[in-house]
């Protein structure tokens, strides 16, 4: 599949961005990747809501072979071949795939961004003294005793 073919294929869906990826293209809309066009076919993003549609069509998930095993990627499923001739229905499937990709992106977002801000703020306010305390805490009792003698003799 070449760039021009893919652009025409998604014409009813709307504008898509194609980016070279692996042996084909990653396809995105509004900055969200929802499809892969590879030598083996066209794969759409899927989740628990959309996988039954692919299964009903007899389609399977994306798979690739490594030296030792076959890896299955359940988040991308092969598009039914009949949709290549039906641009309107392909656009419906593409919207579903985009929805699945957006739901996946929402699940990946960190829940507590404030915790990392507090952690940075606490290290800034503790300053040099806490670094010295940490360094002395790591020393053995014998090392602390020796360093104490040196300080007292000065």
Give 31-54 pLDDT, tens digit per residue: 999 999 998 799 999 999 999 999
Give 46-84 pLDDT, tens digit per residue: 999 999 999 999 999 999 889 999 999 999 999 999 999
**Domain that includes residue 136, residue range:** 118-153
Same domain, 74 and 128: no
For residue 75, with 0-12 CB atoms within 10 Å meaning exposed, 13-18 middle and 19 or more buried, which class applies? Answer: middle
User: Total domain count for the chain?
Assistant: 2
**Nearest CA among 60, 58, 93 for reference residue 75:** 60
Same domain, 7 and 67: yes
DSSP string, 64-119: EE-SS-EEEEEEEEEPPGGGGG-HHHHHHHHHHHHHHHHHHHHHHS-S-HHHHHHH
* Spatial separation of the C-alpha atoms in residues 31 and 41, rounded to whole Å: 22
Is residue 113 a part of any domain in this protein?
no
Same domain, 104 and 133: no
The CATH number assigned to the domain holding 68 equals 3.30.1460.30
> Residue 144 in 3-state DSSP?
helix
Same domain, 80 and 22: yes
Give 86-113 pLDDT, tens digit per residue: 999 999 999 999 999 999 999 887 666 5
């Amino acid at each position: 599949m070449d760039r021009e073919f893919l652009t025409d294929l998604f014409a009813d869906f709307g504008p898509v961005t194609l980016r070279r990826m692996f042996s084909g293209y990653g396809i995105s809309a509004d900055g969200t990747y929802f499809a892969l066009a590879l030598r083996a076919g066209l794969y759409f993003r899927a989740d628990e809501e959309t996988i039954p549609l692919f299964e009903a069509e007899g389609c399977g998930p994306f798979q690739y072979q490594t030296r030792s095993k076959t890896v299955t990627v359940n988040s991308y499923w092969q598009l039914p071949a009949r949709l290549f001739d039906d641009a309107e229905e392909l656009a419906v499937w593409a919207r579903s795939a985009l929805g699945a990709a957006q739901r996946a992106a929402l699940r990946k977002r960190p829940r507590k961004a404030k915790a990392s801000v507090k952690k940075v703020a606490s290290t800034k306010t503790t300053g040099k003294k806490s670094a010295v305390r940490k360094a002395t805490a790591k020393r053995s009792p014998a090392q602390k005793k020796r360093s104490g003698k040196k300080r007292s003799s000065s």
